Structure 1
């Protein structure tokens, strides 16, 4: 919703100011389809050339983030802490009982309580692989932390592909606008024998290309890239939280301390209060009793 409001503000302010200054939309509207074919088509072609099919699909899918915002909500962070608390308690009480949950999370009664987390394959894999490693005596906290850091960094780098692709297009759009403008000037020079009123319209049409390239770069595609990057970085805190809690577990802190470490490392706007989380954990303890 906020993304749509932002786009509306950009268009209203730019074109509204133009009209209030006495500008006429006729010449822009007449030239717009042809300029958009040249500039938009060239940008699309450059995007296809510089990305493989996987990257193209990834970028198109991530454009939705501009309008939907971060995937993880405040309630999801509390659910994650509750999930990790249950798994750590099981691991401490009976490591053998943990296997059914980490080897088949899709059939786990614990994971089933948190369908939004279960739907994230990377988050589930991060939890299960790390806890499986601990059961195999690969429990040096410093080594595991390094492995997790590299894995999260690799996932983050992959997720950032779309924002890099969009920013590359934004950087190229002003130049493509100049290309379209030059073609318009070439067309104008072919009609140099025409009266000034005709030449004026032709030159105005050519300048629409420059305007469109710059406008799309800094008013649309560039902000899209920045928004996608912000959303991806916000969602990456979810995986960072998994790392913090599981590393605390390897240090053999009490389950409640591990969860508190995670709560303290949760971004402020998504951090559950101590009271709310304690109440949720008490409910889990009562259900398990």
Structure 2
């Protein structure tokens, strides 16, 4: 919703302001200029990005439309899940986790926490490291190094998408100039026409420059920034898992391990200590 509201504000401010000073909106309708700029931008986007980025466009637009995937309730679920799993491991030993991490879709524990159970990437991350725990891994420093390597890879994948959108912002002003130059060339080929026709042709050429800059700074650059902020917010979900699992490996009680995980979250979505305590108690009662 915020994304749509922002687009509406940009469009109304620019075109409303132009119309308010007496500009004629009809002059701005130059579809072939738009075809040149947007078509070339799309082509360059396809050339410059790997298939994984092109396939991820659906997820990208979903994030921009809806915002970060994880909300405060998602973080509460994550903390509740970690508490339940850590408590089970403390009470019955790490091997008690094996059945849950090997078949999370059939696990009564994971199914109580749909925010994680319905997220394949987060579920895989959690289960992979809990599986190491069940296999006897006890060195938290080695696990931390492995987690950091995987998180860096995940971040690089996200940064590829941000860079792809940013490249549109960087390139469309230049493509607008290309369209304008082609318009000027077309105008020079019609130099024998009367002034009113030449004026229309020159105006059409200048629309290319306007449209390229407008798309770059009105849409693509803000989209890249919004996507970057969303990915950084979602990254905290994994950092919270990392903090909790490492604390568990270091031998802390489940409540303390969950507090480590809570402190890794951003303040705007971080549940309070009381909220986490209530959530973990409810999880324990449900078990």
TM-score tier, shorter chain, comes to: over 0.9
TM-score normalized with structure 2 length: 0.96
1:85 aligns with 2:83: yes
Q: Would you say the 8 A contact 2:77–2:115 is kept in 1?
A: no
Range that drifts further, 55-64 or 251-260: 55-64
Range that drifts further, 230-239 or 158-167: 158-167
Which residue number in structure 1 is paired with residue 118 of structure 2?
A: 119
Which residue number in structure 2 is paired with residue 70 of structure 1?
A: 68
TM-score normalized with structure 1 length: 0.95
Which residue number in structure 2 is paired with residue 108 of structure 1?
A: 107
Secondary structure of 2:57's counterpart equals: helix
User: Alpha-carbon deviations, 1:21-72, whole Å to 9, x = none?
Assistant: 121112212x2x1111111111111111112333212124302222100110
- Structure 1 residue 116 displacement after superposition: 2.1
User: Alpha-carbon deviations, 1:215-250, whole Å to 9, x = none?
Assistant: 001101111111111111111110010000001111
> CA separation in 1, counterparts of 2:61 and 2:286?
41
> CA separation in 2, counterparts of 1:116 and 1:284?
14
Q: Would you say the 8 A contact 2:64–2:226 is kept in 1?
A: yes
The residue correspondences of 1:220-231 to structure 2 (distance < 5 A) are 220-231=219-230
1:192 aligns with 2:191: yes
Q: Would you say the 8 A contact 2:244–2:258 is kept in 1?
A: yes
- Structure 1 residue 122 displacement after superposition: 2.0
Secondary structure of 1:75's counterpart equals: helix
Change (3 A) 1:46 1:119: same
Q: Would you say the 8 A contact 1:248–1:261 is kept in 2?
A: yes
- Structure 1 residue 125 displacement after superposition: 1.7
- Structure 1 residue 89 displacement after superposition: 1.2
Which residue number in structure 2 is paired with residue 249 of structure 1?
A: 248
> CA separation in 2, counterparts of 1:82 and 1:252?
18
The residue correspondences of 1:122-201 to structure 2 (distance < 5 A) are 122-201=121-200
Which residue number in structure 2 is paired with residue 27 of structure 1?
A: 27
User: Alpha-carbon deviations, 1:138-190, whole Å to 9, x = none?
Assistant: 22111111111111111121122221111111111011000100000001001
> CA separation in 2, counterparts of 1:232 and 1:40?
26
Secondary structure of 1:268's counterpart equals: coil
> CA separation in 1, counterparts of 2:286 and 2:162?
44
Which residue number in structure 1 is paired with residue 45 of structure 2?
A: 47
Q: Would you say the 8 A contact 2:182–2:205 is kept in 1?
A: yes
> CA separation in 2, counterparts of 1:66 and 1:155?
18
Count of matched residue positions in the alignment of Structure 1 and Structure 2: 286
User: Alpha-carbon deviations, 1:79-108, whole Å to 9, x = none?
Assistant: 111101111111122233211111111110
- Structure 1 residue 11 displacement after superposition: 0.8
- Structure 1 residue 255 displacement after superposition: 0.9
Q: Would you say the 8 A contact 1:185–1:206 is kept in 2?
A: yes
Secondary structure of 1:269's counterpart equals: coil
Change (3 A) 1:28 1:99: same
Which residue number in structure 1 is paired with residue 279 of structure 2?
A: 280
Superposition CA RMSD, Å? 1.3
Long gaps (5+) in structure 1: none
Which residue number in structure 2 is paired with residue 36 of structure 1?
A: 34
> CA separation in 2, counterparts of 1:2 and 1:173?
24
> CA separation in 1, counterparts of 2:59 and 2:254?
38
Secondary structure of 2:268's counterpart equals: helix
Long gaps (5+) in structure 2: none
- Structure 1 residue 283 displacement after superposition: 2.6
Secondary structure of 1:239's counterpart equals: helix
